[in-house]
Structure 1
Amino acid sequence: PGFEQTLILKCASRADVAAGLRSNLGHLLRCGAVIRSVDNLGERRLPLNMRAPVGDKPLIGHYFLVHFESPPGVKDRLRPLQRLDPFMIRGHVCDKTEADWVRPCSTGEQCKFGEKDKPNFEQAYAVKRGYRHY
């Protein structure tokens, strides 16, 4: 069956992002998947305050969408491997049926995925006891 995986990787150098994507695609291939396409959705602000496995709190991430076909038990095998990846912020695998799948933002207008609209989001991020730390 067909699957779709969304990935959010830490915002780092181009080589680090490529290494993180390569390791994740390697996990898929070792699980017996056939990768159909990889879409780079670009660098965006994170919609929520997320924590990476290393412990830092990134504000920006690289978004990727991977379409692949695999045996049915791939979700359970990928989850522990993704937790160990130091480049991964968030990853999710869901079933994909061709009949009801529509590419996001296919209407032509600019699409927002719930990013924070504050222009000074880096400054307003850390608030402790009512005082902002700049």
Structure 2
Amino acid sequence: MPTYEMPLLLRIMSRSEVVSTLRRTADAIFEKGGIIRQINNLGTRELPFKMSAHGMVHKKGSYFMFQFDVPPSSLGDLAERYGRDVDIIKRRIYKVEEEPEFECTLEEEMRPPAYRKEVQEMMAIGEKKHRPRFKYNSGLDYYPFQK
């Protein structure tokens, strides 16, 4: 199962209501056969602009970040269910891409550019592409008759 991130923006509520909303959100993931990896509370802040959701205008909100694994076939159901929840102002589900492995050694970086492997490969490519256009036995390095 791929890993997904879901930032949630909840309306301002009491602590017990926030807990029940987060529990409903987590239960929906568990019902679809998912696993929650992490839940982060990002705090309560002013919204960057007024948002209206479910017939109400919101100026402040509580931010949370869910990280979970769930089968891709159930993402549509989760998005629909969270869209109907009156306590959730905004939500998105993003797939977490694995970072490619990057290997860096200090010894390689400290070499002068002409001795680095990548630079030597680029120089080899450049030498292959550079070909003189004129090679007749005239002794000139260009073709005088403009072929």
1:68-87 equivalences in 2 (<5 Å):
68-87=68-87
**Structure 1 residue 8 corresponds to structure 2 residue 9:** yes
Counterpart position of 1:89: 89
CA distance in 2, matches of 1:7, 1:21: 10
Q: 2:52 is paired with a residue of what secondary structure?
A: coil
Larger Rg: 2
Counterpart position of 2:33: 32
CA distance in 2, matches of 1:52, 1:18: 20
Superimposed CA distance per residue, residues 42-99 of structure 1 (whole angstroms, 9 cap, x where no aligned partner): 001112321122x111111110001111111232111210122121101111100231
- Cα RMSD for the two superposed structures: 1.3
Stretches of structure 2 lacking an aligned partner (at least 5 in a row)? 101-147
CA distance in 1, matches of 2:28, 2:49: 26
The aligned amino acid for 1:68 is F
Runs of 4+ in 1 over 4 A off after TM superposition: none
CA distance in 2, matches of 1:74, 1:90: 19
Higher helix share: 2
Q: 1:49 is paired with a residue of what secondary structure?
A: strand
Counterpart position of 2:18: 17
**Structure 1 residue 60 corresponds to structure 2 residue 78:** no
TM-score between the two structures when normalised by the length of structure 2 = 0.63
Higher relative contact order (Cα pairs below 8 Å, separated by 6+ residues): 1
**Number of residues of Structure 1 aligned to a counterpart in Structure 2:** 99
- Tell me how far 1:17 sits from its aligned partner: 1.0
TM-score between the two structures when normalised by the length of structure 1 = 0.69
The aligned amino acid for 1:95 is K
CA distance in 1, matches of 2:74, 2:63: 21
CA distance in 1, matches of 2:53, 2:22: 15
Identity among equivalent positions (%) equals: 31
The aligned amino acid for 1:21 is L
Q: 2:44 is paired with a residue of what secondary structure?
A: strand
Q: 2:33 is paired with a residue of what secondary structure?
A: coil
Superimposed CA distance per residue, residues 23-42 of structure 1 (whole angstroms, 9 cap, x where no aligned partner): 11111111111000000000
